[in-house]
Structure 1
């Protein structure tokens, strides 16, 4: 039988062993990443983490996948969370990078929150999402932090990020052969994730945009900031809100920046990562 291609883990493991053998491990950042499509989605040429790995070269064990939710990735007792703990106990990581929470508060989750609701103000709509979803998202982050603290012996910092304010509400992601291969012949687009789900309760586009701004502000203020305060030196996040501004060319679709957009965001994230590990 022909040799099977190496998995991401096997490639990382072999590179780690080689760096250890050649005594270059001490000068090579070793990073574990887990997350959603901002770290994984094959749009255009780049995602956020692709940019970061170019700007901060090192050994990256990349576990992220498109569509992943924090509540699934970091569910207490889950195989995925156990696996993260096993990796931390086996390898000497310098940092854990996380992109999580966005998929937990869009799409079908919004559909469930707003089912049967009348027309709402953006503030009221955000309040409903917070009440329904923020608790489980924060708990998921806390589950991860507990594992990293334990298995990393309190020495492996976690770096997460906010998202940025979208400007192309209702625009789905266009998939092509270049980005995802032959599956694009069957699925030409995915999304949207916000616009069509809020239109019934927020029919005005200005209200939809305000809703998203308030929701992302609340994600930062009610989830990320308290986690940073409660876990000094262990958990931090890169503040990306407002980085791209209103320019639609910096966005590929409703949720994902374009190559140029990810380049801008990636530079900020990479700068904070360098400060964290050097």
Structure 2
């Protein structure tokens, strides 16, 4: 397998793209635009996207699907970004007019083969979740989920997804757009552990969580099992009310799809903190994600 390149600096991407084009290699090397949150960007370890770009040496020997000619990845993801527009930190929302317009400029100018998305998890936690459950107490996991559902948050995120996907589909109708679900969290209330062992980016990371536990501890009764159930319900709701309706939207012509990653990481040892798998956990999920990604590429680029 040829080595993939993941370039977050736009000038570097342009230079690499033009070099591959001059060498007549773009007919077999996929070019992929990536936008997302911490599952694509966390510095805590090799994340989901890192493992897709740079598989483990043993993956090929173990039969894990790989990109045969490598790939060129245009990466603009950032930890903590939300899908839906927000007023508190408008620049930290992905599916907004300004951000979509910016990315479409690149999408139209370069011959991308796919768009990868990781978005929506941050929209339902942290300060938003605190506000949604404010004043509530003695709730079951299901009752707390119903409170969240009644806020209209799922509809907000669905509309944001539909806006992003619709804009990219209109620009280039034949390019697949692939997202993913999140897996069910286990370590509710556990914050991220930072240190020099994960590099300078980890030391400088501003938010270490937890993003769910403190907001449900005094609201949902039953302790950890009920808190975990609440998180599972949130993720199932995200799939059923956001990802699946966008996938089924006839106006998008089947351009959008998602990889279901739920239920794969049942061992607490595969979770780094409340919302992020360990390096080994992300590696396991990446094998699943990469197989779907490859299947959607043009045959010559798989």
TM-score (norm 1): 0.92
Bigger mean CA offset, 62-71 vs 172-181: 172-181
- What do you get for the CA RMSD once the two structures are aligned? 1.7
| Aligned ranges 1:219-230 → 2 under 5 Å | 219-230=238-249
1:53–1:209 CA distance, 2 compared to 1 (3 A): same
Distance in 1 between residues matched to 2:183 and 2:81, nearest whole Å: 18
> 1:275 — aligned with what?
295
**Structure 1 position 118, deviation (Å):** 2.3
Moved more, 223-232 or 98-107: 223-232
SS in 1 for 2:27: helix
Q: How does 1:25-64 map to 2 (within 5 A)?
A: 25-44=26-45, 46-54=46-54, 55-56=66-67, 57-64=70-77
CA contact (8 A) 2:8 2:75 kept: no
Is the partner of 2:158 in helix, strand or coil?
helix
Verify the 8 A CA contact 1:34 1:97 in the aligned structure 2.
Answer: yes
Q: Contact 1:175–1:188 (CA<8 Å) still a contact in 2?
A: no
**2 CA distance for matches of 1:224 and 1:181?**
34
> Where in structure 1 do 4 or more consecutive aligned residues deviate above 6 Å?
186-189
Distance 1:187 1:145, change over 3 A: closer
Cα separation, 2, equivalents of 1:160 and 1:81? 16
Query: By percentage of residues, which structure has more helix?
Result: 1
Q: Is the 8 A contact 2:43 2:202 kept in 1?
A: no
TM-score, normalised relative to structure 2: 0.85
Kindly indicate whether residue 148 of structure 2 is the aligned counterpart of residue 129 of structure 1. Answer: yes
For the 8 Å contact 1:172–1:189, the answer to whether it is kept is: no
Change over 3 Å in CA distance of 1:242–1:146 after alignment to 2: same
**Stretch deviating more after TM superposition (88-97 or 197-206):** 197-206
State the match for 1:197 in structure 2.
215
Larger CA deviation: 187-196 vs 91-100: 187-196
| Partners of 1:131 and 1:88 in 2: CA distance | 36
Deviation at 1:239, TM superposition (A): 0.3
How far off its partner does 1:258 sit?
A: 0.5
Shift of 1:143: 1.1
Q: Find the counterpart in structure 1 of residue 95 from structure 2.
A: 74
Matched positions, count: 267
